């Protein structure tokens, strides 16, 4: 049997072929298009007023899905670069506010898919939003630690609230006439704190301290008399509003008490301890 001879080749560099040592060069590829996206894991989803459409963030766009047929009804084009980070529905269910990772917020009308307003007040991803009862005021929080209050009708920013040291994770407007007659805003953050803001004075009137980890969620009950906060420390805390404390806090702020954060509410644990102290004193 004849043995097959293997030919060996030696390639030597030439003047047109420089020696790069161990460095290898690769072709650079970039994605040209994306298809088949239903929703993105970085964004939430919500329903319209009738519950017929599901509004979901899909990369940099917002998709309107027909829940009954499962068909894509409309695409709200949000640009070419920055993904959707959060969606908030207006109280009437006819509009949605869509926050993006660049800090911009687009206000969309669902009936015809028109962007009726664009807000630019944050420098990083929008992480929290809420409307007032009429849908005329929008509050947004972001990773830049700022909270901005927007006038939706006038399409402008009203004022900025600063005080958190990390990303804002939740915002909620307290309805006057519930647990308090003051115009209050509640905000939570990854800095472990929950802050109470008096919107008339645009000041923080109380910082709720108790959680040992990032506060990841907050919610108000239907009567707006209690606040619920959840944290990564596995605690769920319940806080009760006190109108007398809120009035005292507003008076202290208006009097120029700098550096003081006086109570606009009290936690359930604090109220129970105060009751026990009164009983023991009696």
Pairing label, strands 184-189, 168-174:
antiparallel
Per DSSP (E only), the strands in the chain are: 45-47, 53-58, 61-66, 72-76, 84-89, 95-100, 104-109, 114-120, 126-131, 137-142, 147-151, 156-161, 168-174, 184-189, 194-198, 203-208, 215-220, 226-231, 236-241, 265-267
Whether 269 has a pLDDT exceeding 80, the answer reads no
pTM of the model: 0.74
Span 98-122, average pLDDT: 94
CA dihedral 101, 195, 228, 174 (to 10 degrees): -90
> For residue 281, what pLDDT is reported?
37
pLDDT tens figures, 208-235? 998 999 999 999 998 888 999 999 999 9
Whether 80 has a pLDDT exceeding 60, the answer reads yes
CA dihedral 202, 239, 242, 192 (to 10 degrees): -30
Whether 267 has a pLDDT exceeding 50, the answer reads no
> For residue 187, what pLDDT is reported?
96
């Amino acid at each position: 049997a004849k043995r097959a001879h293997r030919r060996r080749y030696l390639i030597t560099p030439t003047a047109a072929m420089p020696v790069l040592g161990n460095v290898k060069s690769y072709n650079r590829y970039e994605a040209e298009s994306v298809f088949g996206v239903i929703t993105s894991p970085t964004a939430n989803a919500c329903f319209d007023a009738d519950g017929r459409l599901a509004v979901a963030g899909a990369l940099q766009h917002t998709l309107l899905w027909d829940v009954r047929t499962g068909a894509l009804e409309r695409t709200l084009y949000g640009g070419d670069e920055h993904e959707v980070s959060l969606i908030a529905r207006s109280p009437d269910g006819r509009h949605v506010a869509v926050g993006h990772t660049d800090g911009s917020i687009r206000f969309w009308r669902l009936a015809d898919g028109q962007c009726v307003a664009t807000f630019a007040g944050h420098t990083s991803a929008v992480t929290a939003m809420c409307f007032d009862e009429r849908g005329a005021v929008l509050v947004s929080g972001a990773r830049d630690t700022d909270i901005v209050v927007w006038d939706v009708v006038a399409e402008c920013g009203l004022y900025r609230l600063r005080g958190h040291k990390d990303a804002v994770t939740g915002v909620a407007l307290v309805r006057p006439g519930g647990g308090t007659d003051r115009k209050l805003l509640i905000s939570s953050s990854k800095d472990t704190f929950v802050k109470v803001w008096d919107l008339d004075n645009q000041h923080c009137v109380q910082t709720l301290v108790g959680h040992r980890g990032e506060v990841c969620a907050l919610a108000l009950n239907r009567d707006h008399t209690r606040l619920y906060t959840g944290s990564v420390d596995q605690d769920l805390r319940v806080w009760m509003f006190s109108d007398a404390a809120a009035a005292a806090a507003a008076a202290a702020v208006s009097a120029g008490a700098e550096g003081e954060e006086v109570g606009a509410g009290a936690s359930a644990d604090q109220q129970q301890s105060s009751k026990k102290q009164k009983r023991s004193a009696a």
